[in-house]
A and B are shown apart, each in its own frame.
Chain A
Amino acid sequence: MTKIKFENVNKKFDSVVAADNVNLEINDKEFFIILGPSGGGKSTLLNLIAGLEQVDSGTIYFDDKPINDVPPEKRNVAMVFQSYAIYPHMNVFDNVAMGLRAKKLAKQEVKKQVENATEMLGIREYLNRKPYQLSGGERQRVALARALVRRPDAFLLDEPLANIDAKLRQSVRVELKSLQRQFGITTVYVTHDQTEAMSMGDRVALIRQGKIIQTSTPSEMYSRPLNTFVAEFLGSPSITLFETDLRDKDGRYIFEAPAFVLELPLETAKMRNITATIRNKARDNKVMIGFRPEDLAIHKESLNNAIEGKIYLIENLGKESIITLKIGERLIQAVSAHPPAGVHVDDTVWLTVDFDKMYIFDKETQQNLLI
């Protein structure tokens, strides 16, 4: 129904830049995630879409119609706030009916639609309750029902799961995603939680200090991050980056770090391509190499071309273990489904890496050298 487009949008609050020349296109019926650290300008983008803030410059379009001058009440978007913003002086029915009454719908129609929406979210029995009589999860459902009942052109969610407990969060995540698919409403979802972004988004925009760093599908962002910031933001536990010097010795490529030396295997064509790329792009041969925790393997016996480290902590999560290792002075994390038996804290172990899944960034520009 609605495509949302940002064109060179800028927004400043005093001296804080909240949107820095943002260009963004959100497709119709898309579940679009705006991801980023706190205070990065995520909510501002949402408020700009809702019309609660005005752009300093640039244009926002709904379906190619500029809407800079349209007030929020005329934009037909629905918003769920992190605080839920449920009207405390109204019961659940009146809360959900607010948007419908603004449209001047007939009483019967309002009643029917409110009942449908609350039924769907499992809060129909609470219609006569006041917000202070509801639990956090129920309040959140009221906020969702209030947004859904209006059949808006776009659905804006500002960290809606931040205030509910972890177990409920999981199930609401699934529910939200399926509701969105069912209704086919363009959805913009703001979060600082990369798990939510990875699991729910059709596409994700990662934003920092008002600037969009990368826009892509979650899996692409995970495997092909544009720079170290993106690489470190996605994934839990996060990626391990090492600063290394790349040495080119008699046709062999060696990454030298204070704590270890790794030689790049040149058996495959892919690896040979990589070396060519790096040589072209890296400045002074200083690069950062990165490995996801799941791409590290732990061995008890000494191996060639492996990183020596010490077990610092083993966290058994049931289906997998997070193993924290000390390499030189650094702590890094590896995730392993089957840690080698008989490995204990303070044991010396050897880490082998999956070179096929290695990330290489320029040390100075932090840009990914492999894309």
Chain B
Amino acid sequence: MNMNRKKILLVIFVSFIIFWSLFPILWIFNHSLMFEEELYSRPPHWIPQNPIPNNYMQILGIPAYYPRYGEVKASGHAPAILNGIRNSTIVALLVMTATVIVATIVAYPLARFNLRHGNKYLFVVLTSRTIPAISIAIPYFIFFFYLGLYGTVFGVAILHFSITIPFMIWVLIGYLNTLPLDLDRSARVDGYGRLGVFRKVIVPMAGPAIVTSIVLTFLFSWNEFLFAWIFTSGTTAQTLPPAFPSMLFMLADPNNMAAAVIISLIPPIVICAFFERYITRLKIVGAVQIKSG
């Protein structure tokens, strides 16, 4: 009885949280399928009465014609959105690839070798995460301006990389520390140098952690706003997130904006759905026996 009541309370609580976080997305999705008149109807329509793809077409720069409304022109913001999708994809993929490769290569020695100043390196890596992003934005702005990296896709990627790399190094070190050291030692004795151990034992076993860092890095880079806004807004390298406030400032059609927001959610959802199955922990069972003594 008591258990049941606990369960019911838990279900209510969880449902509330799910509703709390998903309702805005559902609401935006609703809007993205409506015309402006329906948006302002009273009482509000919880489900669009005549769902239409027009907002998506407009925001992607495709004109559409509907008998009831006549011709609907492509949105003036379409170029910014299309450009943003392209730039964000390039940046996110660049950052993701670079981060995973570099973080894995750096995490291995930090986690496994008895480096003379290993803890100091770790400390430096950690503290670099505690600096507020805005405080490094200004010096970076000056560097980038002189280096010609301001307003370039490559420049944003470097900025994102500088934030993701310490974080992912920590994720990977944390995971590598859970893998039994005897496996490395065994591979050494089996005739593999440190690189061989890395390739044959560490990388395959760190799979789940590597996938986790792929997903987290992609999501971070795709969503990152502050640096993208400071370093790319108004340039050809503008990524997707800074495109939204400029639409807002320019009083764009809210239904078009809703469609743009939904489009920006698709890649993260796809990435999460695709990699989710790889994040299950590798079966370490069987690698080592638990010491009985």
Contacts and interface: CB of A to CB of B under 8 A. Distances in A.
A102 B290 CA distance: 28
A162 B293 contact: yes
Given A87-B201, A89-B204, A102 B191 contact: yes
B186 A85 contact: yes
Contact of A98 (B180, B185, B200): B200
B201 A73 contact: no
B287 A88 contact: yes
Interface in A36-95: 38, 47, 50-52, 71-73, 75-79, 81-89
Contacts of B284: 88
Interface residues on A, range: 35 or more
Contacts of B292: 162-163
Interface string B264-293: 000000000000000000111111111111
Nearest to B204: A89
B131 interface: no
Question: Interface of chain A, helix or strand or loop or mixed?
Answer: loop
A132 B286 contact: yes
Contact of B289 (A71, A73, A156, A163): A163
A50 B189 CA distance: 7
Contacts of B205: 87-89
Contacts of B190: 73, 78, 98-99, 102, 146, 150
Contacts of A132: 283, 285-286
B286 A81 contact: no
B7 interface: no
A67 B282 CA distance: 37
Given A82-B289, A84-B288, A85-B288, A102 B186 contact: no
A73 B285 contact: no
B183 interface: yes
Contacts of A131: 285-287
Interface in A105-157: 130-134, 136, 139, 146, 150, 156
Given A38-B293, A89-B205, A73 B192 contact: yes
A207 to B, nearest CB: 17
Contact of A99 (B191, B204, B282, B286): B191
A103 interface: yes
A83 B285 CA distance: 12
Contacts of B187: 87, 98
A332 B282 CA distance: 51
A132 B292 CA distance: 18
A85 B283 contact: no
A88 B202 CA distance: 11
A134 B283 CA distance: 13
A52 B185 contact: yes
Contacts of A99: 190-191
Contacts of A163: 289-292
B188 interface: yes
Interface string A240-284: 000000000000000000000000000000000000000000000
B182 A85 contact: yes
Interface in A146-181: 146, 150, 156, 162-163
A306 B188 CA distance: 60
A81 B181 CA distance: 11
A71 B292 CA distance: 31
A131 B288 CA distance: 9
Given A86-B287, A88-B205, A139-B286, A81 B191 contact: no
A52 B189 contact: yes
Contacts of A134: 286
Nearest to B183: A85
Interface in A180-235: 192
B196 interface: yes
Nearest to B203: A89
Name the 3 nearest CB pairs between A and B, nearest first. Answer: A102-B191, A131-B286, A83-B288
Given A86-B288, A131-B286, 20 more contacts: A72-B189, A73-B190, A73-B193, A77-B189, A79-B185, A81-B185, A83-B180, A85-B186, A85-B288, A88-B183, A88-B205, A88-B283, A88-B285, A89-B207, A98-B192, A130-B283, A133-B286, A146-B190, A150-B190, A162-B292
16 contacts: A50-B188, A81-B186, A82-B289, A85-B186, A85-B287, A86-B287, A87-B200, A88-B282, A88-B284, A89-B205, A98-B190, A98-B192, A102-B196, A131-B285, A132-B283, A192-B293
